[in-house]
Amino acid sequence: MSRSWLKRASLAAAFLIAWAIGASATVYVGPTLSSPTNGATNQPTSLTLTWGTAANAATYNVMVSTSTSFTTTVSSQTGLTTLSASVSGLANSMTYYWEVDAVDASSDISAWSTPYSFTTVPVAAPGAPVLSSPSDNAMNQPVAGLTLSWTSGTGGPVTSYAVQVGTSTTFSTTVLSMSGLTTTSQASPTLASSTKYYWEVTATGNGTAMALDSFTTAMMPGSPTLSSPSNGASGLATSLTLSWTTASNAATYAVQVSTGSGFATTVASQTGLTGTSASISGLAYLTTYYWRAGAKGLGGVSGWATPYSFTTMQIPAPAAPALASPTNNAANLPDSLTLGWNTVTGAATYSLILSTVSDCSSKVFTATQMTTTSVNVAGLAAGTRYYWEVSAANTSGTSPWSTIWSFTTSPASSVLPVASAKLAKTEFSVKGASLVYSLSVAVPVGITFSDLLGKTALTMNRTQAAGRYAMALKDFSLAAGRYIVQFKAAGIVKRQIVCIER
């Protein structure tokens, strides 16, 4: 049952009741609708409804429905004091019905107006997309990493896009075909160089619209020509610069170095070089290497240049070593010590001479084919100056001898008169400016000087016969100051603080 019928029935009932009680009643005629006109088409989805004045009207009510019976409403507005009502949010391509009634100051309601209808505008078809990148007929486009982009055209809403790329406008074959895209860009696959491509974008909504453009890819870069070192060059340094000529259409270069002509593995590989040279280092001596270069540009990657080879130099003979420890002219050293020197680049082995002659012409100790940079020597004579030198060697030869250094061992202890043939026990003490000790039997003796923080300053180790000994503090190669001296022999250990004055 329509709302209009109910409204009219209620008005009739009101009239009958008023007549029955003898009262007067006025039934008003509803307003006359004016805009949009009845049956109007192509109306916007947001519009204003207007009507004429109704007699004695104080306010108006308006209803909008998709049904002639107004069983459901899409808009219902009451208490309007103007002759118009704004309605929005209507659907496209839809027929709507509308009617208006009036209410006087006594809340009497008029009959509904004669309903009008109108139909909204259909959804617009999408406009043709605007292709933006690459621009139409663009040249020298990259074959890799190209992104196609566009914007939506003027028109109705777009639900999706489709894009095609091919070498003809018919797109009988394509290198790219995508549909259902909701974005306005698409990455292109890798393309062929020096080729004209056509690309088309189709917008789909309430219909379809398409746009077509073209672009041409860049030329393939040429291969560089290797120049230095020349093919087959030999005797080269293990650090060198490789160079080649400029290649056409090249933006960057790559270079590879290998020990095999097939380049199954590489010892150096550099890419993205903007110049025509590359520095290579860390190569092995007396080794044959192969190298090649290639170019890269917008048009792709060139083939590798014909490889060249070169051979590095034989390892040079090493330089003379630099002696390190003990320092030159060191004095009061023990009769057993370690001689050390610095590593020499390229050295395989070392040799050492120890002599009591300043030019090392006579030898008291030699060591050869050593692979370390130190050697221990023992059994040195007390109070003796020694001279030593070191040389290095490898497969290419032997270095000159190092600068000769010297050191002096501690002097022999003074032996005091012995009261009897055999002392009763081993003892140690400091008397004045001397260390005094006695040995009951021949035993190893260890004497160590440390600073007051416990850091060792000097150590002496030797085996001595039974007897009484005295060693002047001034004979020890120590700076002036206070020291802790430790004496070890025959199972006894004694410590005492001494002062050395210079």
Predicted local confidence at residue 22, as pLDDT: 41
Predicted local confidence at residue 26, as pLDDT: 58
Q: Is residue 461 part of a domain?
A: yes
- Whether residues 47 and 116 fall in one domain: yes
- Whether residues 254 and 305 fall in one domain: yes
- Whether residues 335 and 274 fall in one domain: no
- Give the ranges where 52-111 is alpha helix by DSSP (H): none
Q: Is residue 70 part of a domain?
A: yes
Q: Is residue 317 part of a domain?
A: no
- Whether residues 167 and 247 fall in one domain: no
Predicted local confidence at residue 123, as pLDDT: 87
- Whether residues 210 and 240 fall in one domain: no
- Whether residues 272 and 348 fall in one domain: no
Domain count, the chain: 5
**DSSP string for residues in 7-55:** HHHHHHHHHHHHHHTT-----PPPPPEEESPTTEEEE-SSEEEEE---T
- Whether residues 398 and 419 fall in one domain: no
Q: Domain range for residue 256? A: 226-312
Pairing of strands 233-236, 308-312: parallel
Residue keyed to tokens 């005091």: 416
- Whether residues 358 and 402 fall in one domain: yes
How far apart CA 412 and CA 415 sit, in angstroms, is: 9
- Whether residues 489 and 401 fall in one domain: no
Give the end of a domain, one of 349, 383, 409.
Answer: 409
Give the end of a domain, one of 389, 409, 429.
Answer: 409
Sign of the Cα pseudo-torsion (270, 276, 280, 286, in order): positive
Predicted local confidence at residue 82, as pLDDT: 95
Predicted local confidence at residue 227, as pLDDT: 97
Predicted local confidence at residue 480, as pLDDT: 87
Q: Is residue 125 part of a domain?
A: no
Predicted local confidence at residue 422, as pLDDT: 59
Give the end of a domain, one of 360, 391, 409.
Answer: 409
Q: What is the pLDDT along the chain (502 residues), one digit of tens a residue?
A: 445 444 444 444 443 433 343 444 455 789 999 999 999 999 999 999 999 999 999 999 999 999 999 999 999 999 999 999 999 999 999 999 999 999 999 999 999 999 999 999 998 889 999 999 999 999 999 999 999 999 999 988 999 999 999 999 999 999 999 999 999 999 999 999 999 999 999 999 989 999 999 999 999 999 999 999 999 999 999 999 999 999 999 999 999 999 999 999 999 999 999 999 999 999 999 999 999 999 999 999 999 999 999 999 999 999 999 999 999 999 988 888 899 999 999 999 999 999 999 999 988 889 999 999 999 888 888 889 999 999 999 988 999 999 999 999 888 766 555 444 457 788 999 988 889 999 988 899 989 999 888 888 888 888 888 888 888 888 777 788 899 999 999 889 999 999 988 7
Cα–Cα distances in Å, from 500 out to 97, 485, 497? 123, 11, 10
CATH of residue 58's domain is 2.60.40.10
- Whether residues 31 and 87 fall in one domain: yes
Q: Is residue 261 part of a domain?
A: yes
Predicted local confidence at residue 72, as pLDDT: 93
- Whether residues 299 and 377 fall in one domain: no
Q: Which of 325, 327, 354 is nearest to 340 (CA)?
A: 325
Q: Is residue 139 part of a domain?
A: yes
Predicted local confidence at residue 267, as pLDDT: 97
Q: Is residue 318 part of a domain?
A: no
Q: Is residue 342 part of a domain?
A: yes
Q: Which of 463, 450, 464 is nearest to 496 (CA)?
A: 450
Predicted local confidence at residue 16, as pLDDT: 40
Strand partners, 416: 468
- Whether residues 274 and 210 fall in one domain: no
